[in-house]
Amino acid sequence: MGTRILAVEDDERIRAAVKLALEDEGWAVSEASTGEEALEAFQQDPVDVVLIDIMLPGIDGFEVCRAIRRSSDVPIVMVTARADTHDVVAGLEAGADDYLTKPFAPKELSARIRALLRRARSLDSGSPHLRFGDLEILPDEGVVRRAGREVHLTKTEFRLLVELAQSPGRVFSREVLLERIWEHGYFGDGRLVDVHIRRLRTKVEADPANPRHVVTVRGLGYKLQA
């Protein structure tokens, strides 16, 4: 079964054109024009990637994102109006994996989706179990346990944690993480990393305000320690 994408967008013509462009990539695209429709469609038929425009009539994009996150770790791409507002951070905090700013080129969208799909695929088997104090990471199974209890991470959060965990103590700059996890390269938005690190901490740290494992190295980046 091929990759399925749910496109949530209230402008009918944009939706139709984006659907055509994504179908050219060989993906099956279902559509929703409101937040309510999107949630109903997702419940009935979970897809592989969700594309959500923040500006929606009724339930807005943030709320749709949070509602989906309550039950699923499906990759989500947000479409925001502006890059320099709080919208981006709010969207990422609501659970989005990546974002695009209108107007964007469809090629860019498909590149982002491909990167997300690659991230969602399980890692190569044979990776050893990793332990950082009370934190236990099983890359093969896609499982993370803190104090023996399993914590639920999205695919992006998981890949971020594994990336840091595979070189314990090494400091990763945000540019490097953007390149390796999001495949954005040098000019990506550092806030993607920052917000995901924050989300990760709320799940793997006993006290997210005073992280012990995922620590910030000021001016340089992030590292993972025991």
Q: What residues make contact with other proteins under the rule CB under 8 A?
A: 11, 13-14, 16-18, 20-21, 24, 81-84, 102-107, 185-187, 189-191, 218-219
Q: Tell me how far apart the alpha carbons of residues 2 and 101 are, in angstroms, rounded to a whole number.
A: 27
Q: Least distance in Å: CB of 188 to other proteins?
A: 10
Find the helix or strand (DSSP H, E) in which 88 lies. Answer: helix 86-93
Q: Least distance in Å: CB of 187 to other proteins?
A: 6
Q: Of 187, 134, 128, 137, give the one whose Cα is nearest residue 157.
A: 137
Tell me whether residue 148 or residue 219 sits nearer to other proteins (CB atom).
219
User: Is the Cβ–Cβ distance between 39 and 68 less than 8 Å?
Assistant: yes
Q: Tell me how far apart the alpha carbons of residues 148 and 79 are, in angstroms, rounded to a whole number.
A: 37
Tell me whether residue 107 or residue 118 sits nearer to other proteins (CB atom).
107
Tell me whether residue 36 or residue 194 sits nearer to other proteins (CB atom).
194
Q: Least distance in Å: CB of 175 to other proteins?
A: 8
Tell me whether residue 109 or residue 116 sits nearer to other proteins (CB atom).
109
User: Degrees (nearest 5) of the Cα angle 159, 164, 168?
Assistant: 145
Q: Least distance in Å: CB of 9 to other proteins?
A: 9
Token output for 159: 């890949």
